[in-house]
Structure 1
Amino acid sequence: MTVRHALFMAAAGRAVFPMNPETKRPACAHGVKDATRDAAQIREWFSRPGLVPAAATGQPSGIVVLDIDRQHGGLDWLADQMDRLPETEIYATKSGGQHWVFQYRPGLPTIALNRIGGGVELRSTGASAIDWRALGYTRISDAPPAQFPEWLLPPKPAPRDPAPPRVPDDASLSNLLRFAAQAPAGERNRRLFWAGCRLAEQVQHGTLSAAYATALVEAAGVQAGLPRHEARATALSAIQGGRA
């Protein structure tokens, strides 16, 4: 019976591999990575007794499976949401839950247990689902797989607001400008430009005006011994470059 069902799954476009129904572990070397629709390979696998076919969910089979786990309260979730779910392929599982089968679409992720709802997980690419019908478990609905209900996807977390800029207090601003103003010969333009870039960050965040920041940097350059036109050029370069 299991080999016939596995071949039926493969004919329906599902990539199949063997599982141990007691341990729910793969009975092939590479598990879900070995899943295939090749009839010869399927017959070889299921010539061994005691195995059950599983579908590689997601892209390999074109389906995803909503696993409703009775032991974690999934049936309670299902009772609350039944009116919102479309008619689709459904079958009972060994543990008393249900597998709801939907069409796969690119990008549909595997979603861990309890993220959609208590006792509910979604199996997509990289995961798998045992088809318990091969062992005679109830076919609840033989409807074709419906489109996946997008409302089942958990909302994406809202992007975090960037941290507000630190508004420089008078002391930190004075220390920054003093560092530039006390630069020794040979370091004046480098220190002045660096100080200007730090003030440009505050201009970009709106905590200083560009004109005020430029004037402060220019004055520090003059105090360091630079000609005013040179100090102003460095200040403008730093402030405007830092705002770009």
Structure 2
Amino acid sequence: MSDWQNALDNALQAADRLGFELIPLSLTKLPAIRSPHDKGHSCKGECGQLGHGIHDASSDPDRIRAMFEAARHATGYGIACGRPPHFLIGLDLDRDAEKDVDGVWELRRLCARKGIAVPRTVIIRTPRGGYHAWWTGPEGVKVPNRAGQLGPGIDVRGAGGYLVGPGSRGARGLYTLASNPDNVTVHPIPEQLLQLMTADKERPRRAGTTAANTWLMGGGRALVGLVRHVLDAGEGQRNNRLFWAACKAFEHAAAGRLDADQAEDALMKAAVEVGLPDKEAEATLKSARGDVLGAA
């Protein structure tokens, strides 16, 4: 069976058995259907076409088949978080021995420190030895996507985000169900853990610092403006704004007006500041750099 067929079959099963809304993913774990619009658009599917990322997500089997037919290169599927009836919330627990990061251990330490009893729930094993833990959330509570706020190696997947479903294949391997396959029950999230995910954590805002540093380091007005363009992004605009700003920055770099690495670092910090997950921001910057400098 091909990876495409396997991903489609698993996606249909997840939609039918659990009512999840989903989209096809490419080998890079990004939405597999290209946008029909120019970069920087604000359309969330109102045009009626496919290619709007998580905004295309559906549990309707006919629409799922249509999406996969439009993306014959798809090797996985992403399950939308924060949507009824489950209001799915996920924790991405990374394990990276080279970077001395263990999100599983950090979560256990956090729960022990806060006195949180973590219930059994659906657990997905990632190709790199990490895990995704899934919970249902209460209606009306918006959980933001956050990287590392709860601890090193712990990323939160909430409203506007998605979780890679079991049976998906990424560039590093297969995502598999680690919990009991005979009891696929997504449990409600512990109230204390939910409070930690939604808390407004005071962090020194880097907007002014980043802008000042890029100016002093020779970034000039162009890079300061591009950084501000990302920092001013609202939810649903962050990735598009980052891609547009990165393309402009790398065009300046190709013309010798900016240092490409400095620009990428500044934009990465801005993306993290507005809540874009690290991996998603890295993938967007890599794509923009390849499109501009790869062709230059």
Same fold (TM > 0.5): yes
| Residue in 1 that maps onto 2:237 | none
SS in 1 for 2:167: helix
The count of corresponding residues between Structure 1 and Structure 2 is 157
* Mapping for residues 1-244 of structure 1, pairs under 5 Å: 1-11=6-16, 12-21=18-27, 23-28=28-33, 29-47=51-69, 48-60=72-84, 62=86, 63-71=88-96, 72-80=101-109, 81=111, 84-105=117-138, 106-135=140-169, 136-142=174-180, 143-152=184-193, 153-154=195-196, 155-156=199-200
* In structure 1, distance between residues paired with 2:157 and 2:82: 7
Larger radius of gyration: 1
> What is the one-letter code of the residue matched to 1:101?
W
In 2 relative to 1, CA 25–61 (structure 1 residues): closer, same or farther, beyond 3 Å? farther
> What is the one-letter code of the residue matched to 1:74?
G
> What is the one-letter code of the residue matched to 2:161?
A
Greater CA deviation, 50-59 or 127-136?
127-136
* In structure 2, distance between residues paired with 1:61 and 1:93: 25
| Residue in 2 that maps onto 1:162 | none
* In structure 2, distance between residues paired with 1:43 and 1:157: 41
In 2 relative to 1, CA 33–50 (structure 1 residues): closer, same or farther, beyond 3 Å? closer
> What is the one-letter code of the residue matched to 1:40?
D
In 2 relative to 1, CA 2–140 (structure 1 residues): closer, same or farther, beyond 3 Å? same
TM-score (norm 1): 0.57
Identity %: 28
| Residue in 1 that maps onto 2:277 | none
Please state how far the C-alpha of 1:4 moved relative to its aligned partner: 1.1
* In structure 1, distance between residues paired with 2:84 and 2:30: 19
Please state how far the C-alpha of 1:150 moved relative to its aligned partner: 2.1
Please state how far the C-alpha of 1:24 moved relative to its aligned partner: 2.0
- For structure 2, the 5+ residue unaligned runs are 1-5, 34-50, 203-296
Q: CA RMSD in A?
A: 2.4
* In structure 2, distance between residues paired with 1:137 and 1:111: 21
- For structure 1, the 5+ residue unaligned runs are 159-244
| Residue in 2 that maps onto 1:208 | none
* In structure 2, distance between residues paired with 1:94 and 1:24: 12
TM-score (norm 2): 0.48
* In structure 1, distance between residues paired with 2:200 and 2:89: 20
* In structure 1, distance between residues paired with 2:14 and 2:166: 12
> What is the one-letter code of the residue matched to 2:11?
A
